Structure 1
């Protein structure tokens, strides 16, 4: 992240070490280190560790504020997982471990809001592998076993999403499908629907949109007795895959159904934690994206503009992604100067967030506005 790059540069300067000297002490070249420090290349945990060793200073002093997302990711990567700690203690898998794993999934999921897939994927892979091994080798009660399988399913969904964000689409598909098996064994049809619809979203973007639309519709049909917000989320994927396959009527029907489902939410109906990010702004962004796909950029503009203006600045990747669609809507409306200005702001974010998905979108729209 750019602020982290600035801290690395400041620490090097304070130690009186030149870029050339630092390059000699690490396996990174002088131009590469310069890019890390000026924000044109994403700083990863390995880079921070290299600076720490070469400058003989602590990792903590380089990361700065305790809540720096990349610092949190680094700390998770080097710390033991709850599974490893319990295994060394030789304990039977009980409520305490499952509760720790459930809490850990939530933390990882929220970390995805601020850390790109390229940086987050090692953490999620490790936690998923540990949870899967616990299900396979552990000794536990029936109720604990069900909760463990739900954890595996939720981690698989997150791992698939993060892998897709990092550009590892084959791994993402394989991971989504492994999560479906765990969620089915747990009897969690809402989670099965979430996994399949997440896969349909990837397929719509990098595969066959028609197959993606069929999968998204199947996910809704198979997810029985789901809550309103979950239904809204699954229907969003139907809308997107339908728009991508140019099925105008199906996309518009799905968007209307999303509005109806979301309006039916109530405090009396519990929702799974994994829909925490669904909001009216998110729904408007998806509607705007679908309208662009369907050739109605004029209607998309106000939806996207209002939603993006209210978006949390800490969620840099999502905001930049949504800016790419706003830029596309301007470009397709013939307002190229506005489109270039907006895509320029999104391009700045690509230097701060390790996301292949964002980089690919920015490059696509840059081609459009040339």
Structure 2
């Protein structure tokens, strides 16, 4: 954010415009602009657009030549979806291959329920590379091409997710952003939102929570016409990023909107298969996690306990992760014995799962419980 603010300052000074004049052009106060330019306030896409218009320079010139996810989110929100262009080569690709790839994505996605990212990541990456090669080198109709690009976008989301679970964060970010390109070309705004919010989730956990909150908000805004359960998922990740950024009001608002969106689901509105796992229990788990980060572990514990009691034991990694949150809620509430018991069960669940995310999380809670 400091680097982006500095670019805004450099562009303004290069145009020979004072802060006072810039304030008049943008309708932001002089003090507010100074804070943006010196990294004391978070620069969001609206600020960049205001500078772009006031200085008559392109948005790209202000963001700089990078694959910054915030820049891509901004481009997604303000530009039309690009027309899919492909090189016609080789044998024509038909609907049958598209259908086979679509079914394969579903199989891999459900496999992630029971297999850790360290084991699954190489397989998904290979499948993604093969699907992308079909898109780049195949010959197909416009309709088939759109389906193939959706497959690439969905595979990129899954590949990014399992790479992140395996601790390969940079690889995950690059994969998510590649998926954004495919989903945009397919015109699938809900999938674009899923990819951006997945990256925001990673950023909230291992990066800058303020940036994660902005990216998650962009995902929600860009997919405003998405189906109810998709919006539920995107709003959940916004709530988590807001909680990690210690933005209590934004977290509460997002959690309220999660409930509203989920209650709007209906059999008459189709949902993409990739939200199959979203449920009231998942909502309770996320609400509990957010409450812990907001300093209310007592209220979090019953939400987590109820969801864990109803959860399918086959989902070992998720069970272990959820138990670490339960252990944290107990530890922060001063119930150290209950925290140790929950942590011991998390360790047992994690014994046969290859997940760097789970290992890191257990290590964090071990330190917390030990200090209590």
TM-score (norm 2): 0.75
Q: What is the match of residue 203 of structure 1?
A: 203
- Matched position secondary structure for 2:174: helix
Q: What is the match of residue 268 of structure 1?
A: 268
The alignment status of 1:128 with 2:128, answered yes or no, reads yes
Q: What is the match of residue 363 of structure 1?
A: 363
- Matched position secondary structure for 1:318: helix
Please give the residue correspondences for 1:4-19 in structure 2 after superposition, counting only pairs within 5 Å.
Answer: none
Task: Tell me the CA shift for residue 223 of structure 1.
Answer: 1.1
C-alpha offsets along residues 194-224 of structure 1, whole Å, 9 cap, x if unaligned? 0000000000000000000000000011114
C-alpha distance in structure 2 between counterparts of 1:264 and 1:257, whole Å: 11
Q: What is the match of residue 94 of structure 1?
A: 94
C-alpha distance in structure 2 between counterparts of 1:91 and 1:349, whole Å: 48
Q: What is the match of residue 138 of structure 1?
A: 138
Please give the residue correspondences for 1:228-247 in structure 2 after superposition, counting only pairs within 5 Å.
Answer: 228-247=228-247
Please give the residue correspondences for 1:155-174 in structure 2 after superposition, counting only pairs within 5 Å.
Answer: 155-174=155-174
Task: Tell me the CA shift for residue 97 of structure 1.
Answer: 0.3
Q: What is the match of residue 193 of structure 1?
A: 193
- Matched position secondary structure for 1:267: coil
Structure 1 unpaired stretches of 5+: 1-89
C-alpha distance in structure 2 between counterparts of 1:298 and 1:345, whole Å: 20
- Matched position secondary structure for 2:313: coil
CA contact (8 A) 2:91 2:138 kept: no
- Matched position secondary structure for 2:92: coil
C-alpha distance in structure 1 between counterparts of 2:251 and 2:163, whole Å: 27
C-alpha offsets along residues 325-356 of structure 1, whole Å, 9 cap, x if unaligned? 00000000001111011101111222210000
Q: What is the match of residue 225 of structure 2?
A: 225
The alignment status of 1:308 with 2:308, answered yes or no, reads yes
Task: Tell me the CA shift for residue 140 of structure 1.
Answer: 0.4
State the superposition RMSD in angstroms: 0.7
TM-score (norm 1): 0.75
C-alpha distance in structure 2 between counterparts of 1:265 and 1:349, whole Å: 33
- The count of aligned residue pairs is 281
Task: Tell me the CA shift for residue 184 of structure 1.
Answer: 0.2
Q: What is the match of residue 87 of structure 2?
A: none
C-alpha distance in structure 2 between counterparts of 1:362 and 1:346, whole Å: 8
C-alpha distance in structure 2 between counterparts of 1:238 and 1:361, whole Å: 21
C-alpha distance in structure 2 between counterparts of 1:298 and 1:271, whole Å: 34
CA contact (8 A) 2:319 2:349 kept: no
C-alpha offsets along residues 13-70 of structure 1, whole Å, 9 cap, x if unaligned? xxxxxxxxxxxxxxxxxxxxxxxxxxxxxxxxxxxxxxxxxxxxxxxxxxxxxxxxxx
- Matched position secondary structure for 2:120: helix
C-alpha distance in structure 2 between counterparts of 1:279 and 1:350, whole Å: 23
CA contact (8 A) 1:189 1:224 kept: no
- Matched position secondary structure for 2:268: coil
The alignment status of 1:299 with 2:299, answered yes or no, reads yes
C-alpha distance in structure 2 between counterparts of 1:194 and 1:349, whole Å: 28
Task: Tell me the CA shift for residue 91 of structure 1.
Answer: 4.2
C-alpha distance in structure 1 between counterparts of 2:361 and 2:164, whole Å: 13
C-alpha distance in structure 1 between counterparts of 2:305 and 2:314, whole Å: 18
Q: What is the match of residue 10 of structure 1?
A: none
C-alpha distance in structure 2 between counterparts of 1:225 and 1:330, whole Å: 39
Task: Tell me the CA shift for residue 92 of structure 1.
Answer: 1.9
